[in-house]
Amino acid sequence: MKGVLRGVILWLGLLVLPVKAAAAELIPVGQVIGLQLYHDRVTVAAYDDILGGTARNAGLKIGDQILEIDGKTVACAEDVRGALQSSQGQITLTVSRAGKERQLRLSPANTEDGPKMGVFLRQGIGGIGTVTFYDPASGTFGALGHGVWDSEGLLKMTRGNAFEATVAEIKKGKAGDPGQLRGTAESPIPFAPLLKNTPQGVFGVSPHRWQGEAFATADYESVHTGTASIRTQIGTDQPREYSVEILKIYPETRPDHRNFLLRVTDPDLLRATGGIVQGMSGSPILQDGKLIGAVTHVLVNDPTTGYGIFIDNMLDAAG
């Protein structure tokens, strides 16, 4: 989940493979996974506790995107390391800040590991989310039900990876203070590449990954208000279903992909999480024995209530 929208809603080398969900019958997964998405922008994430004065004195700020060092284009963190290794004393940084370019002069600190700028760099976004569906016919899986965004908009992913993860801690949600599933990756080795980051979800391919009963997908006309369930993982146990109620259905073509409003009614889930929390984005929603969509947003002022996306909208984005 990304952040608060208008203070009201919280939402939760590339290997080239075909991404295509058959959409006949899909396995609703509900399992938490780790996600790491990379792009071609290198930004300043934090100051080093010891060497940070070097960057501060030069005027380098957290959030600055490093465009060039001594006139050489920076497209990845390795470009920064290479430029520092070949530098002769002071360097000239070209950075982008609030949409404007500026140049800074910085004298790298000399360390046993070579010259350092005194900052930690970031080239992507990582976190946990929930897998919505797995297509056993194609190996395609979809997660989150919404895209991953950064300060520039929808993150233009150059590559990405999915990792096995576990829920280590639950921060219970309450009005005005959204909850969160805090997870950890079980292994530094990814189990699958991520191939698409879209407004309707993140998608990848992993042959023979998940097993379980496959469900038919519901069309727009068959989804209705009333009883439904979500499949999600809120601890170390396997995903299980929790009861919810569909309160309102919105147009299938709604641009923000908030296609229906739902409320958590399951006492177990309410006790454990307070409702919908960060990390549950992508939890599949089932109704009348069909997969109808995924959880995507939570109302900040009412964590029992949130939004979902229609499954057909996710499948269209998957390809």
pLDDT in tens, 254-284: 999 999 999 999 999 999 999 999 999 999 9
Kindly indicate the confidence band of residue 319, based on its pLDDT and cuts at 50, 70 and 90: confident
What's the confidence (pLDDT) of residue 300?
A: 92
**Average of pLDDT values for 35-49?**
88
**Average of pLDDT values for 15-43?**
76
Assess contact for 246 and 228: CB atoms under 8 A: yes
Examine the domain organization and report whether 50 and 197 are in the same domain: no
**Average of pLDDT values for 200-228?**
94
Assess contact for 194 and 162: CB atoms under 8 A: yes
Of 122, 149, 181, the last residue of a domain is 122
Q: Whole-prediction pTM value?
A: 0.80
**How far is 51 from 41, CA to CA, in rounded Å?**
23
What's the confidence (pLDDT) of residue 288?
A: 97
Examine the domain organization and report whether 277 and 289 are in the same domain: yes
Assess contact for 46 and 120: CB atoms under 8 A: yes
Of 107, 122, 137, the last residue of a domain is 122
Examine the domain organization and report whether 56 and 197 are in the same domain: no
**Average of pLDDT values for 20-39?**
83
What's the confidence (pLDDT) of residue 21?
A: 46
**How far is 200 from 245, CA to CA, in rounded Å?**
22
94 DSSP β-pair partners: 68, 103
Examine the domain organization and report whether 114 and 132 are in the same domain: no
* Angle at CA of residue 171, ends 167 and 177, nearest 5°: 140
Longest dimension (CA), the chain: 69
Examine the domain organization and report whether 153 and 260 are in the same domain: yes
What's the confidence (pLDDT) of residue 19?
A: 46
Examine the domain organization and report whether 48 and 27 are in the same domain: no
What's the confidence (pLDDT) of residue 113?
A: 83
Which CATH number do you get for residue 105? 2.30.42.10
Kindly indicate the confidence band of residue 13, based on its pLDDT and cuts at 50, 70 and 90: very low
What's the confidence (pLDDT) of residue 16?
A: 37
Examine the domain organization and report whether 137 and 114 are in the same domain: no
Backbone φ and ψ of 221, nearest 5°: -70, -25
Measuring CA to CA, which residue among 148, 136, 135 is closest to residue 296? Answer: 148
Examine the domain organization and report whether 109 and 132 are in the same domain: no
Sign of the dihedral defined by the CA atoms of residues 42, 48, 54, 60, in that order: positive
What's the confidence (pLDDT) of residue 42?
A: 87
pLDDT in tens, 136-174: 999 999 999 999 988 778 988 989 999 999 999 999 999
Assess contact for 304 and 274: CB atoms under 8 A: yes
Active site residues: 146, 266, 281
Assess contact for 315 and 18: CB atoms under 8 A: no
Q: Is the pLDDT of residue 205 over 60?
A: yes
Kindly indicate the confidence band of residue 208, based on its pLDDT and cuts at 50, 70 and 90: confident
Examine the domain organization and report whether 63 and 152 are in the same domain: no
Which CATH number do you get for residue 194? 2.40.10.120
Total domains present in the chain: 2
Range of the domain at 108: 43-122
What's the confidence (pLDDT) of residue 15?
A: 37
Average pLDDT of the residues of the chain: 89
Label residue 57 left, alpha or beta by phi (over 0 means left) and psi (-120 to 50 means alpha).
Answer: alpha
Of 106, 122, 138, the last residue of a domain is 122
pLDDT in tens, 119-139: 988 888 889 999 999 999 999
Examine the domain organization and report whether 230 and 289 are in the same domain: yes
Helices (H) then strands (E): counts for the chain: 4, 27
Backbone φ and ψ of 85, nearest 5°: -65, -35
Task: Give me the residue label for tokens 């038919």.
Answer: 216
**Average of pLDDT values for 97-104?**
91
Q: Is the pLDDT of residue 22 over 80?
A: no
Examine the domain organization and report whether 199 and 258 are in the same domain: yes
Examine the domain organization and report whether 35 and 61 are in the same domain: no
What's the confidence (pLDDT) of residue 123?
A: 81
